Chains A and B, each alone.
Chain A
Amino acid sequence: MEDTIYLASSQHKLWSFTPESLSSVRKATNAAAAAQVREAIMRAREKKMMNGGVVKSGNSNGMVDSDIGTPADGSGNGNGVGADGLALGPDEKEIECLTAEEELKLVRYYCRKIMDIATVFEFPTNIKATAPTFLRRFFTRTSPMTYHPKTLLTTILYLTTKTENHYIHLKDFSSKIPKSSPEEILAPEFVVAMGLRWCFEVKHPFRGLEGAIMELVKVSEGKYIHPTHPTTSDPQETNTFNPPTPAEWQAKLHNLPPLPTSPHLPPKPRIERAHGKARSILSGPVLLTDAYFLFTPPQIYLSSIYLVDPPLAHFFLDLKHPYPHQSSLLQTLKSIIESCAEEVRKGGEPGAQISKEEMDEVKRIDRKLYFCRNPEKVDLVGVSKQAKRGVTEDEESGTGGNGEAERREREVKKRKLEREKSFREGEELFGSQTK
């Protein structure tokens, strides 16, 4: 039954991959975005040429480049900020786009960030875990060159509070994020929701872990009764094979090989130790990896136990599959758990800070991204307003008149500067934790 439910879930249907299919989706996303970025930058350059704008090169501090340009400001670039990618003539420089690997590293960094912000808010685990999952899902089929992950962090987190039934008023949410405005948080909400294909359910491994731990505790108390197994292929077997008794399971648990790293622990403290450590793996490192894309929630929680106490994880699998006919299934499961553990290991140690190498690499990628962002998707507030009004740029210039256009342009510029400032301040608040 659980399997059937999982197979019908959007997590399985839309967001499950083999390593190969995941990597090919990412490559395709990257290639398509790169093509679009090149076209958009060319369009913007042409427009600039037509307007005869002379543009100075802006600052290139990679970490504060929250705005490079705005969709409609091809002509109004006199303030020297932004539009770097556009500063060169069409023949001057080939636009160098991010690779899929670079994109992934960037996304991983922002998964950390979004969890940091969730921690500041003291949000419950399910939000802390869903937000980075949304981020990863979104950027599987959308490139950071199209939308910079940084500009979507608060949007995704706020959306997560709603999907996880932890409603907090937008004003209160935005007031805790320095200088962010409700408008900015909401502007890309539809973009995010669309990118998530309007699927908001994330199936996490946490409850599964709790269940396994409860059952292990039962075993340690000698109270575990094996449920009659309905799926045996051989009806004879059910009659002839008796699974171990509760006392036998208890003894097996007691006699598990000790962990090399820890002193010999009696079963109960050992289970508690595994519980705590597995939980911290699930609520941190796992979310920096592709585990949710490649494995199911039970595989993930089992691998988290496996990482902290391999004999205990194997014991649990044996406990659940005691019949002889299940032995090949059991072997398969054990090897899946191992490959899942392999993936989870990539998330690093729980609570570990980002390494200097990783940080430097992220900074490099972000600087590179500064020159290959899709200029048409930078001013998200503007894009969203435009979408809301349902007018295209062309229509507007046709009917809106000059006064209106200028006023808007001024507004856009003002907002842009404000946002830049606020982001710098935001970086100070949240950046201190990871840098």
Chain B
Amino acid sequence: MTIRTGGIGAPLPLGSSKSSATAPGLQNAFIENKPPKAKPIASAPPAAPAKLGAELAEDLNEEIKNKYTKDKKIGEGTYAIVYLGHTKTQPPTRVAIKKIKAQTILTSGLSMDAIREVKYLQELHHPNIILLLDVFSSKNQNLNLVLEFLDGDLEMIIKDTRGIMYSLADMKSWMLMALRGVWWCHTNHVLHRDIKPNNLLISSTGVLKLGDFGLARSLSDPYRPMTHNVITRWYRPPELLFGARFYSTAVDVWSLGCVLAELLLRVPFIAGNSDVHQVELICNVLGTPNEENWPGVTSLPGYAVPSNNPGQPPGFWETMFGHSGHEGVRLLKGMMELDPRKRVSAKSALEDPWFRIEPRPTRPDKLPRKGGTEGERKVGEDLQRVAGGDEGEPGGGMGGPRGGNGSMAARGKGVARKLDFGGL
């Protein structure tokens, strides 16, 4: 229903950005929240922009702020507080208001995380990407992001091994929606760089949406290096583990491959406890990267591998993931190719026959999900981030200074530690 049902069968229709219209309810909210006067497009009658011109940014800010009511705090971290709120419209729409606290010590003003998130969410409108409804600043110069309220995420579902059973059709549906969101980012030349189950949020109508754009960035220009210190370790592709400074959309595809494997296994697939261990585990599964299977890999700055490991025999994949079907295994392997140049793109993954053969992907509103208060709490946790590091901090070297706190890595570690696998 939110995703056109036709869309589920045929992988690509969301491509047409006409469908950047969202779930009906949200679309209304979106329209209500962006009054036409905020859009003096070229053809707008002169009266509209004239009015806008007369408004001070501060007044507009007040106006936006007054559209929402904060109801209750649903999570608090060092850098952000998340509130459940609603619009003052009739009927009200639930929203999440993420208040990024003004940093008082070591301040660089608006944090890179906040800027990235705002920058990309302002541009990327897609049913499978979390919707940023508004941005306003509250009186203490705190930045507030008004986001559509999403009450669950894929991690909750995967981890609830006792409470939630899901089928192959369900997994296809989630993957399809995740791939669409990622494909839309990539079409817009944006790398997400932090794809993992708890950033794949689920709406009350079952639609999966990409969240947390705090590490996102635009594709760099040729020869401009990027930091390799991104993506939570278990979902980090080998090129980043080897310190590649020039990489592409394939990094997100690897992460999604890990998510697919995790959906199938219900535990993280390659869960190293250090970067070195992560490389080791990847080699164990896929074989040691070398010039033969990945031309050029040995010249990556951080290339260091344990002794030559042939990887798992072909039968391994069928044994581990055979329940996804032959096509499922093939797609998974395509998404987890060692050599990023051989890895499938989000677009070709979307076109994979796996999504078209039986069992067909489940309609979003029929997907199993978890909600209620636990959902709220979880969302509170997910939405607030530890302030991220920046391109240019240790390992980044974008011309910025060294000696930051390596916060990108710290962030990944923090998240990893938070996960509890004891019960699995």
Residues of A within 8 A of B (CB): 1, 4-5, 8-10, 12-14, 16-18, 20-21, 24-29, 31-32, 36, 124, 126, 140-142, 146, 158-159, 162-163, 165-170, 172, 182, 185-186, 189-191, 193-195, 197-201, 206-207, 384, 387-390
Contacts and interface: CB of A to CB of B under 8 A. Distances in A.
B108 to A, nearest CB: 5
B54 A388 contact: no
B49 interface: yes
A211 B58 CA distance: 40
Contacts of B220: 165
**Contact residues on B (Cβ < 8 Å of other chain), bracket:** 35 or more
Given A141-B52, A165-B391, 11 more contacts: A8-B20, A16-B41, A18-B43, A26-B53, A27-B53, A162-B110, A186-B109, A190-B137, A194-B137, A197-B57, A199-B122
B88 interface: no
B189 to A, nearest CB: 9
A142 B56 CA distance: 7
B241 to A, nearest CB: 22
Contacts of B60: 194, 197
Interface of B: 15-18, 20, 38-44, 46, 49-58, 60-61, 102, 107-110, 112, 115-116, 118-120, 122-123, 125, 135, 137, 139-141, 143, 187-188, 217-218, 220-221, 224, 390-393, 396, 398-401, 404
A17 B57 contact: no
A8 B125 contact: yes
Contacts of A172: 400-401
Contacts of B56: 32, 36, 142, 146
| Most B-side CB within 10 Å, residue of A12, A158, A159, A162 | A162
Nearest to A17: B42
A170 B53 contact: no
| Most A-side CB within 10 Å, residue of B125, B188, B400 | B400
Nearest to B126: A8
B17 A4 contact: yes
B40 A165 contact: no
A168 B46 contact: no
| Most B-side CB within 10 Å, residue of A27, A32, A193 | A193
A36 B16 CA distance: 46
B53 A24 contact: yes
A310 B213 CA distance: 42
| Most A-side CB within 10 Å, residue of B119, B120, B143 | B119
Contacts of A28: 49-54
A194 B144 CA distance: 12
Nearest to B135: A198
Contacts of A191: 57-58
Contacts of A5: 17, 187-188
